[in-house]
């Protein structure tokens, strides 16, 4: 029984962290059809922002939940204004530009912080479940992810800002004819996507540590989640992370962590073969 509970927590944690690292990418891709190859580096910058802030005496939770998203969100707006906005509708150019940005950011951070792993120890310690132990922090990450996704749903569904975002996503010219400035909507959206990535990078920093090339470890997982999820930003992210998170954890349990990832990637290939438009391209079409 205790083992089952521990396993359930592990599976939920895998789902939550997958959703966390993907949701910023999903927002940017879903809203603007921009494939952001620097997504992994936004996660990395979130981790460094949080660690840098804690090292300078700021409370760990504030560093993770406030400093990281604000810093990376601001970087996102800067990147959108100086780079991305010239490339809308040109997918290959955007991919090349964001790839270049990713290399630049890795080089920049290596120059500043060195090519070493820095870490913060996970707060809150552990908790006994029968004969097993689980970290309280992973429960907190699960809870934060749920709160975040629910909040995003409420904003998109019930606020004017969310409505404008959805409308602009469906038909930017018509939105402009009604008086909204699509470039402004895009800048805000890109900033929000980057902020979400910064938050995710900060929340996983205590678990994995941070180093300049850590983005590479996450970007493939984030992309299969977004592509597997399909057009609907939230329900796509939730269903794909639930599916792939479960497959990965179960695979890991019966084999090894490396094989767990291999099995997940294989499952993603099968899924995209069966549903080229992703899960929400076929199901839950009307969802957010």
- Positions touching other proteins (CB under 8 A) are 160, 163-164, 166-167, 170-171, 173-182, 286
**Between 30 and 46, whose beta carbon lies closer to other proteins?**
30
13/6 Cα distance (integer angstroms): 10
Q: How far apart are the first and last CA of the chain?
A: 36
Instruction: Tell the smallest beta-carbon distance from residue 171 to other proteins (Å).
Output: 6
Instruction: Tell the smallest beta-carbon distance from residue 161 to other proteins (Å).
Output: 11
Instruction: Tell the smallest beta-carbon distance from residue 156 to other proteins (Å).
Output: 11
Query: Which residue, among 44, 205, 189, has the nearest Cα to 121 in the 3D structure?
Result: 205
**Between 113 and 287, whose beta carbon lies closer to other proteins?**
287
Q: Is 250 exposed, middle or buried (0-12, 13-18, 19+ CB in 10 A)?
A: middle
Beta bridge partners of 133: 128
**Between 117 and 171, whose beta carbon lies closer to other proteins?**
171
Instruction: Tell the smallest beta-carbon distance from residue 282 to other proteins (Å).
Output: 16
**Between 172 and 201, whose beta carbon lies closer to other proteins?**
172
**Between 124 and 163, whose beta carbon lies closer to other proteins?**
163
**Between 30 and 198, whose beta carbon lies closer to other proteins?**
30
Instruction: Tell the smallest beta-carbon distance from residue 276 to other proteins (Å).
Output: 20
Instruction: Tell the smallest beta-carbon distance from residue 240 to other proteins (Å).
Output: 20
8-state DSSP, 51:
H
Please report which helix (H) or strand (E) contains residue 135, including its range: strand 132-135
What are the Cα distances from residue 279, in Å, to 197, 219, 239, 287? Answer: 22, 20, 7, 11
74/76 Cα distance (integer angstroms): 5
- Helix (H/G/I), strand (E/B), else coil: 128: strand
């Amino acid at each position: 029984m205790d083992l089952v509970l521990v396993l359930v927590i592990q599976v939920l944690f895998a789902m939550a962290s997958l959703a966390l690292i993907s949701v910023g990418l999903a927002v940017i891709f879903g809203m603007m059809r921009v494939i952001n190859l620097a997504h992994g580096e936004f996660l990395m910058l979130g981790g460094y922002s949080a660690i840098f802030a804690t090292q300078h005496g700021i409370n760990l939770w504030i560093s993770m939940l406030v400093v990281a998203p604000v810093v990376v969100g601001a970087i996102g707006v800067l990147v959108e204004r100086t780079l991305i906005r010239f490339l809308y509708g040109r997918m290959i150019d955007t991919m090349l530009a964001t790839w270049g940005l990713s290399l630049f950011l890795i080089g920049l951070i290596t120059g500043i912080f060195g090519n070493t792993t820095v870490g913060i120890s996970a707060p809150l310690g552990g908790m006994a479940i029968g004969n097993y132990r689980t970290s309280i922090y992973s429960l907190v990450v699960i809870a934060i992810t749920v709160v975040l996704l629910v909040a995003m749903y409420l904003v998109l569904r019930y606020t004017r800002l969310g409505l404008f975002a959805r409308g602009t996503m469906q038909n930017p010219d018509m939105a402009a004819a009604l008086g909204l400035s699509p470039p402004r909507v895009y800048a805000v959206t890109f900033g929000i996507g980057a902020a979400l990535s910064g938050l995710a990078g900060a929340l996983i920093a205590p678990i994995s540590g941070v180093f300049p090339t850590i983005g590479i470890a996450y970007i493939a997982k984030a992309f299969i989640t977004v592509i597997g999820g399909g057009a609907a930003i939230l329900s796509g992210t939730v269903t794909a992370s639930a599916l792939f998170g479960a497959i990965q954890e179960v695979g890991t349990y019966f084999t090894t962590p490396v094989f767990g990832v291999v099995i997940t990637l294989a499952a993603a290939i099968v899924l995209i073969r069966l549903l080229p438009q992703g899960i929400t391209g076929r199901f839950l079409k009307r969802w957010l």
